[in-house]
Chain A
Amino acid sequence: MQQSRVRFHRRLARLAAAPIRGRIAGVVTDGRNVNPSTSTRSARETDYGALVRAAQGGSQQAMERLLMRAQEIAYRFSLHVCGHADDADDAMQEALLKTYRHAAQIKEPDAFRTWLYRTVKNACLISRRKRVHEPGRLESLDEVVEHADGSVQGIDVPDPGRRPDEVLENSRLRRSLHRALQSLGPEYRLIVFLREVEGLSTREVAQVVGISEANVKTRLHRARLSLRQQLESP
């Protein structure tokens, strides 16, 4: 974790020292305390094109949301596709910095979403290759603990709007899904993650993975059949 933080600050210093080609014109802040993680819209529902256009127009709030979304995707990708949450910090940093550098430059804001998933995919795979010889420290979904009194302690953030039984049910769901996903081959896991978990269209999945749409559909069907078996087995 410490090494990861040091690497982030080194990269940040390099980014800050890079020649300034221009600033985001007239950075607009509306004075509100903007917390990008408290947005009510999930990553699945995010309109990335609109966020990119707003960020390019100088909205710091939009930029912060994009940066948070990029990190959320990198975290879920590390966990579900790579199966190693210990890689997540590196992948999140990479996604953060690349999004920051790229968002202001992109010519087609609506293409940002597939760019982001491709970037996260590459960041996670590079991070995994670097660490492949290191001992793994799996921050697993199994860390969710149900206490004898029925209370739940887990990776879910306590949310006053959610009942404890809902939190527990979601935690169980995610644990079993995590296990089921890890039973799939990597090429199937990637497709399921992009299509089912993240909600990309078949065309977007094909663009991110670099295969035909027909191939995406075939793999998705096989993966669903296998996932179904895993989820239904005791």
Chain B
Amino acid sequence: MTPQPTDRCRQPLEQVSRYLDGDLSAAQRRTVGQHLRRCPCCQHMADSLKHTVDTCHKAGGARLPADVRSRARARIATLLASGAVPPRRA
């Protein structure tokens, strides 16, 4: 059974995203880190959020579907072969 958060978990839970992003001051980071080590509920939440963030990161590295990629490539070829010239900076 997953442990439930208590009143003492409220602040660390609000800061857990910034903790994962390395966006807390040294003192805040220490406080949240200490709480996570003592509280299985918040540690579970932090691990789970990290997994969520990692899942999103993986989606960013995904490749385009083959047909979409081939249309994109064809558009570039058509554009560059069209003689259209990009306006230059004055």
Interface string of B53-71 (1 = CB under 8 A from A): 1011111111111101101
User: B76–A36 contact, CB under 8 A?
Assistant: yes
User: B84–A197 contact, CB under 8 A?
Assistant: no
Partner of B73, one of A21, A35, A105: A35
- B30 an interface residue at 8 Å Cβ cutoff? no
User: B55–A173 contact, CB under 8 A?
Assistant: yes
- B83 an interface residue at 8 Å Cβ cutoff? yes
User: B75–A105 contact, CB under 8 A?
Assistant: no
With A15-B84, A18-B84 in contact, do A67 and B76 touch (Cβ < 8 Å)?
yes
Across the interface, which residues of A come within 8 angstroms of B84, CB to CB? 12, 15-16, 18, 100
Partner of A221, one of B14, B56, B65, B87: B14
A-B contacts, CB under 8 A, total: 151
Across the interface, which residues of B come within 8 angstroms of A198, CB to CB? 60
- B86 an interface residue at 8 Å Cβ cutoff? yes
Partner of B79, one of A12, A43, A157, A224: A12
Interface string of B14-45 (1 = CB under 8 A from A): 10111001010000000000000000000001
User: A75–B68 contact, CB under 8 A?
Assistant: yes
List the one stretch of A91-99, A116-124, A126-134, A204-212 in contact with chain B: A91-99
Q: Roughly how many angstroms separate A21 CA and B66 CA in the complex, as a whole number?
A: 36
User: A155–B79 contact, CB under 8 A?
Assistant: no
Q: Roughly how many angstroms separate A44 CA and B63 CA in the complex, as a whole number?
A: 12
Q: Which of B16, B51, B55, B58 has the most CB of A within 10 A?
A: B55
- A137 an interface residue at 8 Å Cβ cutoff? no
User: B85–A231 contact, CB under 8 A?
Assistant: no
User: A221–B60 contact, CB under 8 A?
Assistant: no
Q: Name the residue on B nearest A85 (C-beta).
A: B68
Q: Which of A24, A88, A221 has the most CB of B within 10 A?
A: A221
Q: Roughly how many angstroms separate A64 CA and B21 CA in the complex, as a whole number?
A: 33
Partner of B80, one of A35, A60, A80, A227: A60
Across the interface, which residues of A come within 8 angstroms of B53, CB to CB? 196, 224
How many chain B residues touch the partner (CB < 8 A)?
A: 42
- A113 an interface residue at 8 Å Cβ cutoff? no
User: B72–A170 contact, CB under 8 A?
Assistant: no
Q: Which of A9, A63, A68, A157 has the most CB of B within 10 A?
A: A157
User: A16–B82 contact, CB under 8 A?
Assistant: yes
- A192 an interface residue at 8 Å Cβ cutoff? yes
Partner of A42, one of B52, B60, B69, B80: B60
Across the interface, which residues of B come within 8 angstroms of A228, CB to CB? 45, 48-49, 51-52
Considering only residues 33-70 of chain A, those with a C-beta below 8 Å from chain B are 35-37, 42-44, 56, 60, 63-64, 67-68
- B88 an interface residue at 8 Å Cβ cutoff? yes
Considering only residues 1-15 of chain A, those with a C-beta below 8 Å from chain B are 8-9, 12-13, 15
Q: Roughly how many angstroms separate A113 CA and B23 CA in the complex, as a whole number?
A: 23
Across the interface, which residues of B come within 8 angstroms of A163, CB to CB? none
- B89 an interface residue at 8 Å Cβ cutoff? yes
